[in-house]
Amino acid sequence: MSRTLPNIIITGTPGVGKTSHCELLAERTGLKHLSVNDVVKSKECHEGWDEEYQSWIVDEDKLLDAIEDEVKQGGCIIDWHACDLFPKSWIDLVVVLRVESSVLYDRLSERKYPELKLQENLDSEIMEVLLQEARDSYDEEIVVELQSNNAEQMDENRPRHIVNFITGNANKLGEVKAILEPAIQVENQALDLLEIQGTLQEVTLDKCRRAADLVQGPVLVEDTCLCFNALKGLPGPYIKWFMKDLGHEGLNNLLAAYEDKSAQAVCTFGYSAGPGHEPILFQGITDGKIVPARGPPHFGWDAIFEYEGQTYAEMDKTEKNKISHRAKALAKLQEWFSKEMTA
Ligand SMILES: O=c1nc[nH]c2c1ncn2[C@H]1C[C@H](O)[C@@H](COP(=O)(O)OP(=O)(O)OP(=O)(O)O)O1
Ligand SMILES: [Mg+2]
């Protein structure tokens, strides 16, 4: 039987944080946490209780029989302080958690480990016994060593998406990072992408395909439009050139003959999994109106786009990032990514 979901072993000396990592990973990925400890107890895969070590003497054959069907279906996160007993063909990734000995000493003392057991586990961690066992039993490409001394390191180890946001606009990049991180890590390549003429969708679709071909990998791109309702949506995707040539005042003058100053800020993100993968679009729209410039002129047309009494430029960054066209589009993107993660 071939599995469609991976099996992952989270291993390491007792006290390194296997169970916390497994629970976090299970929650974030939808894979199931298979606690070998629980199986040993509930299915009696042991030859009794060792008084000196205060632990079950595991019958490995019984244990493998007990979990075989479940593991062969895939999607298991195996939580156990040994890894060499599982057949190579069952396993796709082996994570060995590591801690410094002083941290391990404190954790095991707190668990009231008997002195002998505590000392043996400390030695085992110092001698990298589990890491060696993992490297001896599995191909080196699937063995990963992660540090697990504190909450920050645990957080570093969490599963997450990374996107490569292709943009030459530092302000955009700043906003995208502020909104997506730390849930999604944002990398950046500043490439100058040719932009075609067309509808908002067409511009982003083409930009996204082009970017994926250029970097030969997964990419995120974005195109921003500013659409004046009185002008039936213009300048739209051509706002950049209007901004450059006319400036804030010129853009206001465009609407001088019209009563209707309303405008839509439209942000369209395109994500492609790589060359040949059709981009997926995420669009966000914020309604506002065009006003004479107020606030710092640092980012494009922020100073002339008013939303509920304030221009984007007058708002705190965090405030803009709650209601902006970009934030709305990114909320859709995040929802899609979190579904992907658990699919
Ligand atoms: O939230 C915004 N607030 C104010 N102005 C903004 C905003 N977002 C984009 N803008 C400006 C930048 C550019 O003048 C035009 C969009 O053109 P657009 O092609 O999407 O941006 P770009 O060429 O600077 O960067 P990219 O390398 O991602 O194509 O509107
Ligand atoms: Mg551009």
| 307 CA to centre of ligand 1 in angstroms | 18
Strands (E), the chain: 8-11, 32-35, 46-50, 55-58, 76-79, 93-98, 143-147, 161-166, 184-189, 219-228, 235-236, 262-272, 280-290, 305-307, 310-311
What residue type is assigned to position 330 of the chain? L
pTM exceeds cut of 0.80: no
Does the annotation list 301 as a binding residue?
A: yes
pLDDT of residue 121: 96
| 337 CA to centre of ligand 1 in angstroms | 24
Q: What is the Cα–Cα distance from 338 to 160, expressed in whole angstroms?
A: 9
Q: What is the Cα–Cα distance from 113 to 118, expressed in whole angstroms?
A: 6
pLDDT of residue 341: 63
Distances (CA, A) of 3 to 9, 106, 286: 16, 40, 44
Nearest Cα residue to atom 22 of ligand 1? 169
pLDDT averaged per 10 residues, the chain (length 343): 88 96 90 95 94 89 96 96 96 97 96 93 96 96 96 88 94 97 91 88 95 94 97 95 96 98 98 95 98 97 98 98 98 90 59
pLDDT of residue 342: 59
Nearest Cα residue to atom 3 of ligand 1? 302
Q: What is the Cα–Cα distance from 37 to 55, expressed in whole angstroms?
A: 10
ipTM above 0.85, yes or no: yes
Which residue in 92, 132, 133 sits closest to 8, CA to CA?
92
pLDDT of residue 139: 96
Task: For ligand 1, say whether the CB of 206 is within 6 Å of any of its atoms.
Answer: no
Is the distance from CB of 80 to CB of 129 less than 8 angstroms? Answer: no
For tokens 């030969």, name the residue: 216
Nearest Cα residue to atom 5 of ligand 1? 300
pLDDT of residue 222: 97
